[in-house]
Amino acid sequence: MNVAVTGGTGFIGRHVVAELERRGVSPTIVCRPNSSAPAAFARHTIVRMDLSAPPPDAFDVMHQPDTLIHLAWGGLPQYGSSHHVQTELPAQYAFLKQLVEEGLGNCLVTGTCFEYGDASGALSESLATCPKNPYGVAKDSLRRQLEALQRQAPFNLTWARLFYLYGDGQAAGSLLPELRRAVERGDRDFGLSPGDQIRDYLPVETAAAHLVSLAMSGRNNGVVNVCSGSPVSVRQLVEGWVEQYGWSISLRFGERPYSSYEPMAFWGDASKLHHVLAD
Protein backbone atom coordinates (compact mmCIF):
# COMPACT_ATOMS: atom_id res chain seq x y z
CA MET A 1 0.00 0.00 0.00
CA ASN A 2 1.28 3.46 -0.95
CA VAL A 3 0.79 5.63 2.15
CA ALA A 4 1.48 9.34 2.60
CA VAL A 5 1.67 11.06 5.99
CA THR A 6 1.33 14.79 6.61
CA GLY A 7 2.59 16.11 9.94
CA GLY A 8 5.03 13.21 10.10
CA THR A 9 7.63 15.19 12.03
CA GLY A 10 5.19 16.08 14.82
CA PHE A 11 4.44 14.40 18.13
CA ILE A 12 1.92 11.92 16.76
CA GLY A 13 3.43 11.77 13.28
CA ARG A 14 6.78 10.36 14.36
CA HIS A 15 5.03 7.50 16.12
CA VAL A 16 2.76 6.89 13.12
CA VAL A 17 5.80 6.68 10.84
CA ALA A 18 7.45 4.26 13.29
CA GLU A 19 4.29 2.13 13.34
CA LEU A 20 4.16 2.04 9.53
CA GLU A 21 7.81 0.94 9.52
CA ARG A 22 6.98 -1.88 11.92
CA ARG A 23 4.36 -3.05 9.43
CA GLY A 24 6.78 -2.98 6.53
CA VAL A 25 5.38 0.19 4.96
CA SER A 26 7.73 2.96 3.79
CA PRO A 27 5.56 6.08 3.68
CA THR A 28 5.87 9.30 1.74
CA ILE A 29 6.34 11.92 4.44
CA VAL A 30 5.00 15.38 3.61
CA CYS A 31 6.82 18.11 5.55
CA ARG A 32 6.72 21.88 5.66
CA PRO A 33 9.41 23.47 3.44
CA ASN A 34 11.56 24.68 6.35
CA SER A 35 10.94 21.85 8.83
CA SER A 36 13.69 19.49 9.97
CA ALA A 37 13.17 15.75 9.66
CA PRO A 38 14.79 13.11 11.88
CA ALA A 39 17.80 11.41 10.30
CA ALA A 40 15.87 8.11 10.35
CA PHE A 41 13.37 9.57 7.88
CA ALA A 42 16.07 9.58 5.17
CA ARG A 43 15.15 6.00 4.27
CA HIS A 44 11.67 7.18 3.26
CA THR A 45 10.49 9.53 0.53
CA ILE A 46 10.27 13.08 1.87
CA VAL A 47 8.20 15.70 0.06
CA ARG A 48 8.48 19.33 1.11
CA MET A 49 5.23 21.19 0.59
CA ASP A 50 3.35 24.19 1.95
CA LEU A 51 -0.13 22.77 2.52
CA SER A 52 -1.62 26.26 2.45
CA ALA A 53 -0.31 26.73 -1.10
CA PRO A 54 0.21 23.28 -2.61
CA PRO A 55 1.35 22.87 -6.22
CA PRO A 56 -1.40 22.18 -8.79
CA ASP A 57 -0.13 18.61 -9.14
CA ALA A 58 0.21 17.94 -5.39
CA PHE A 59 -1.17 14.39 -5.69
CA ASP A 60 1.49 13.50 -8.25
CA VAL A 61 4.21 15.22 -6.22
CA MET A 62 3.14 13.02 -3.28
CA HIS A 63 3.56 9.96 -5.55
CA GLN A 64 -0.18 9.32 -5.88
CA PRO A 65 -0.78 7.67 -2.50
CA ASP A 66 -3.51 5.06 -2.06
CA THR A 67 -3.99 6.30 1.50
CA LEU A 68 -3.34 9.59 3.25
CA ILE A 69 -2.88 9.85 7.02
CA HIS A 70 -3.46 13.56 7.55
CA LEU A 71 -2.08 14.77 10.87
CA ALA A 72 -0.87 18.26 9.94
CA TRP A 73 -2.48 21.23 11.67
CA GLY A 74 -0.92 24.57 12.60
CA GLY A 75 -1.44 26.94 15.48
CA LEU A 76 -1.33 24.50 18.38
CA PRO A 77 -1.52 24.44 21.37
CA GLN A 78 -3.33 27.80 21.24
CA TYR A 79 -6.79 26.21 21.16
CA GLY A 80 -8.55 29.55 21.58
CA SER A 81 -6.90 31.30 18.62
CA SER A 82 -9.02 32.49 15.71
CA HIS A 83 -6.24 31.20 13.43
CA HIS A 84 -7.88 27.77 13.44
CA VAL A 85 -11.11 29.01 11.87
CA GLN A 86 -9.84 31.90 9.80
CA THR A 87 -6.67 30.37 8.35
CA GLU A 88 -6.27 26.69 9.08
CA LEU A 89 -9.78 25.51 8.20
CA PRO A 90 -10.00 26.89 4.63
CA ALA A 91 -6.41 25.87 3.84
CA GLN A 92 -6.92 22.33 5.14
CA TYR A 93 -10.14 21.82 3.23
CA ALA A 94 -8.71 23.21 -0.02
CA PHE A 95 -5.69 20.91 0.25
CA LEU A 96 -7.72 17.75 0.94
CA LYS A 97 -10.31 18.61 -1.69
CA GLN A 98 -7.56 19.03 -4.27
CA LEU A 99 -6.10 15.61 -3.45
CA VAL A 100 -9.51 13.91 -3.65
CA GLU A 101 -10.25 15.54 -7.00
CA GLU A 102 -6.83 14.41 -8.25
CA GLY A 103 -7.45 10.78 -7.28
CA LEU A 104 -7.01 10.19 -3.53
CA GLY A 105 -9.38 7.39 -2.57
CA ASN A 106 -8.72 6.75 1.10
CA CYS A 107 -8.12 9.38 3.76
CA LEU A 108 -7.74 9.43 7.55
CA VAL A 109 -7.95 12.85 9.20
CA THR A 110 -7.45 13.48 12.90
CA GLY A 111 -10.16 15.31 14.81
CA THR A 112 -10.42 16.20 18.50
CA CYS A 113 -12.53 15.39 21.53
CA PHE A 114 -13.07 19.17 21.79
CA GLU A 115 -15.66 18.73 19.03
CA TYR A 116 -18.00 17.40 21.73
CA GLY A 117 -17.93 20.73 23.57
CA ASP A 118 -19.30 20.76 27.12
CA ALA A 119 -20.68 17.21 27.01
CA SER A 120 -19.87 15.12 30.08
CA GLY A 121 -19.62 11.42 30.77
CA ALA A 122 -18.91 8.76 28.15
CA LEU A 123 -18.84 10.41 24.72
CA SER A 124 -19.88 8.29 21.74
CA GLU A 125 -19.64 9.14 18.06
CA SER A 126 -23.44 9.35 17.85
CA LEU A 127 -23.53 12.45 20.08
CA ALA A 128 -24.19 15.79 18.40
CA THR A 129 -21.10 17.97 18.32
CA CYS A 130 -21.09 21.42 19.89
CA PRO A 131 -17.49 22.69 20.10
CA LYS A 132 -16.75 25.64 22.38
CA ASN A 133 -13.27 26.73 21.29
CA PRO A 134 -11.99 27.78 17.85
CA TYR A 135 -9.84 24.68 17.44
CA GLY A 136 -12.81 22.38 18.04
CA VAL A 137 -15.03 24.51 15.78
CA ALA A 138 -12.49 24.36 12.94
CA LYS A 139 -12.01 20.61 13.22
CA ASP A 140 -15.75 19.94 13.37
CA SER A 141 -16.34 22.21 10.37
CA LEU A 142 -13.64 20.43 8.37
CA ARG A 143 -15.29 17.10 9.09
CA ARG A 144 -18.64 18.36 7.89
CA GLN A 145 -17.10 19.81 4.73
CA LEU A 146 -15.33 16.54 3.94
CA GLU A 147 -18.54 14.57 4.47
CA ALA A 148 -20.26 16.92 2.02
CA LEU A 149 -17.39 16.45 -0.42
CA GLN A 150 -17.94 12.69 -0.31
CA ARG A 151 -21.31 13.21 -1.99
CA GLN A 152 -19.61 14.97 -4.90
CA ALA A 153 -16.42 12.93 -5.24
CA PRO A 154 -16.70 9.62 -3.36
CA PHE A 155 -13.73 8.60 -1.22
CA ASN A 156 -13.24 6.70 2.03
CA LEU A 157 -13.01 8.92 5.09
CA THR A 158 -12.00 8.00 8.61
CA TRP A 159 -12.36 10.89 11.05
CA ALA A 160 -10.16 9.83 13.98
CA ARG A 161 -11.37 11.85 16.96
CA LEU A 162 -8.40 11.98 19.35
CA PHE A 163 -8.69 12.24 23.10
CA TYR A 164 -5.67 12.86 25.37
CA LEU A 165 -2.32 11.42 24.27
CA TYR A 166 0.99 11.36 26.10
CA GLY A 167 4.48 10.05 25.46
CA ASP A 168 7.87 10.79 23.91
CA GLY A 169 8.02 13.92 21.79
CA GLN A 170 5.08 15.62 23.47
CA ALA A 171 4.98 19.44 23.50
CA ALA A 172 7.21 20.91 26.21
CA GLY A 173 4.27 22.61 27.94
CA SER A 174 2.31 19.38 28.39
CA LEU A 175 1.94 17.81 31.80
CA LEU A 176 4.27 14.82 31.47
CA PRO A 177 7.23 16.78 30.00
CA GLU A 178 6.78 19.50 32.65
CA LEU A 179 6.82 16.93 35.42
CA ARG A 180 9.85 15.15 33.93
CA ARG A 181 11.80 18.43 33.75
CA ALA A 182 10.95 19.17 37.38
CA VAL A 183 12.32 15.76 38.37
CA GLU A 184 15.47 16.27 36.28
CA ARG A 185 16.05 19.67 37.91
CA GLY A 186 15.83 18.03 41.30
CA ASP A 187 12.71 19.95 42.36
CA ARG A 188 11.28 18.75 45.64
CA ASP A 189 7.64 19.32 44.63
CA PHE A 190 5.41 19.97 41.63
CA GLY A 191 2.22 22.01 41.60
CA LEU A 192 -0.92 20.80 39.83
CA SER A 193 -4.64 21.49 39.61
CA PRO A 194 -6.82 19.72 42.20
CA GLY A 195 -6.54 16.60 40.02
CA ASP A 196 -10.11 15.40 40.32
CA GLN A 197 -10.90 16.04 36.64
CA ILE A 198 -11.82 12.84 34.81
CA ARG A 199 -10.26 12.35 31.38
CA ASP A 200 -9.38 9.70 28.80
CA TYR A 201 -5.64 9.19 28.32
CA LEU A 202 -3.85 6.99 25.80
CA PRO A 203 -0.12 6.38 25.20
CA VAL A 204 0.82 7.90 21.86
CA GLU A 205 2.30 4.60 20.66
CA THR A 206 -1.08 2.92 21.12
CA ALA A 207 -2.88 5.76 19.38
CA ALA A 208 -0.44 5.57 16.46
CA ALA A 209 -1.13 1.85 16.07
CA HIS A 210 -4.89 2.53 16.03
CA LEU A 211 -4.49 5.30 13.45
CA VAL A 212 -2.47 3.10 11.12
CA SER A 213 -4.93 0.20 11.46
CA LEU A 214 -7.89 2.50 10.75
CA ALA A 215 -6.18 4.09 7.75
CA MET A 216 -5.02 0.82 6.25
CA SER A 217 -8.43 -0.82 6.62
CA GLY A 218 -9.37 0.84 3.34
CA ARG A 219 -12.92 1.41 4.57
CA ASN A 220 -15.20 4.37 4.99
CA ASN A 221 -15.16 4.25 8.79
CA GLY A 222 -16.63 7.71 9.43
CA VAL A 223 -16.07 9.16 12.90
CA VAL A 224 -14.13 6.92 15.28
CA ASN A 225 -13.07 7.87 18.81
CA VAL A 226 -9.38 7.11 19.31
CA CYS A 227 -9.35 6.69 23.07
CA SER A 228 -8.86 4.21 25.89
CA GLY A 229 -12.52 4.11 26.89
CA SER A 230 -11.35 4.11 30.52
CA PRO A 231 -11.98 7.21 32.66
CA VAL A 232 -9.14 8.20 34.96
CA SER A 233 -8.53 11.23 37.14
CA VAL A 234 -5.58 13.54 36.56
CA ARG A 235 -4.44 12.66 40.09
CA GLN A 236 -4.43 8.93 39.30
CA LEU A 237 -2.59 9.52 36.05
CA VAL A 238 0.18 11.64 37.52
CA GLU A 239 0.62 9.45 40.59
CA GLY A 240 0.89 6.49 38.21
CA TRP A 241 3.69 8.20 36.28
CA VAL A 242 5.60 8.93 39.47
CA GLU A 243 5.35 5.28 40.51
CA GLN A 244 6.09 3.95 37.01
CA TYR A 245 9.30 5.95 36.62
CA GLY A 246 10.36 5.71 40.24
CA TRP A 247 10.49 9.48 40.69
CA SER A 248 10.95 11.12 44.09
CA ILE A 249 8.91 14.31 44.01
CA SER A 250 6.03 15.63 46.08
CA LEU A 251 2.84 16.34 44.11
CA ARG A 252 1.07 19.48 45.34
CA PHE A 253 -2.51 19.27 44.12
CA GLY A 254 -4.67 22.40 44.05
CA GLU A 255 -1.95 24.93 43.20
CA ARG A 256 -3.10 25.44 39.60
CA PRO A 257 -6.58 26.37 38.36
CA TYR A 258 -8.89 24.12 36.39
CA SER A 259 -8.94 24.47 32.62
CA SER A 260 -11.40 27.13 31.49
CA TYR A 261 -12.52 25.27 28.34
CA GLU A 262 -13.15 21.70 29.47
CA PRO A 263 -15.92 20.01 31.47
CA MET A 264 -14.92 18.27 34.68
CA ALA A 265 -15.58 14.68 33.65
CA PHE A 266 -15.58 13.17 30.18
CA TRP A 267 -14.03 10.23 28.40
CA GLY A 268 -14.40 8.37 25.12
CA ASP A 269 -16.67 5.48 24.31
CA ALA A 270 -14.29 3.06 22.55
CA SER A 271 -16.96 0.58 21.39
CA LYS A 272 -16.81 1.58 17.72
CA LEU A 273 -13.00 1.65 17.74
CA HIS A 274 -12.87 -1.91 19.06
CA HIS A 275 -15.51 -3.05 16.58
CA VAL A 276 -13.73 -1.53 13.56
CA LEU A 277 -10.33 -2.86 14.60
CA ALA A 278 -11.77 -6.35 15.10
CA ASP A 279 -13.20 -6.55 11.56
What CATH homologous superfamily does 171-199+231-265 map to?
UDP-galactose 4-epimerase, domain 1 (3.90.25.10)
Q: What is the DSSP string of 155-207?
A: -EEEEEEE-EEESTT--TTSHHHHHHHHHHHT-SEEEE--S--EE-EEEHHHH
Domains of the chain, by residue range, sit at: 3-165+200-229+267-278, 171-199+231-265
- The predicted pLDDT at position 258 comes to 87
Task: Considering only the C-alpha atoms of the chain, give the largest distance between any 2 of them, rounded to a whole number of Å.
Answer: 59
Q: pLDDT means per 10 residues in the chain (279 residues)? A: 95 96 96 87 93 96 97 93 97 98 98 95 96 97 98 96 93 90 95 94 97 97 98 95 94 90 90 95
Q: In sequence order, what DSSP letters do the residues of 211-241 get, joined into one string? A: HHHHHHT-S--EEEEES-S--EEHHHHHHHH
Helices 234-245 and 175-185 cross at an angle (nearest 10°) of 40
Q: 3-165+200-229+267-278 and 171-199+231-265 share one CATH topology?
A: no
Compute CA distances 187 → 161, 190, 191, 247, 252, whole Å: 36, 7, 11, 11, 12
Measured at the alpha carbon of residue 218, what is the angle toward residues 73 and 131, in degrees to the nearest 5? 35
Q: What pLDDT does 222 receive?
A: 98
* CATH architecture, domain 3-165+200-229+267-278: 3-Layer(aba) Sandwich (3.40)
- 192/229 Cα distance (integer angstroms): 24
3-state DSSP assignment of residue 276: helix
For residue 63, the model assigns a pLDDT of 96
3-state DSSP call for residue 275?
Answer: helix
CB atoms within 10 A of CB 230: 11
Whole-number pLDDT of residue 260: 75
| AA identity, residue 279 | D
Whether the pTM exceeds 0.85: the reply is: yes
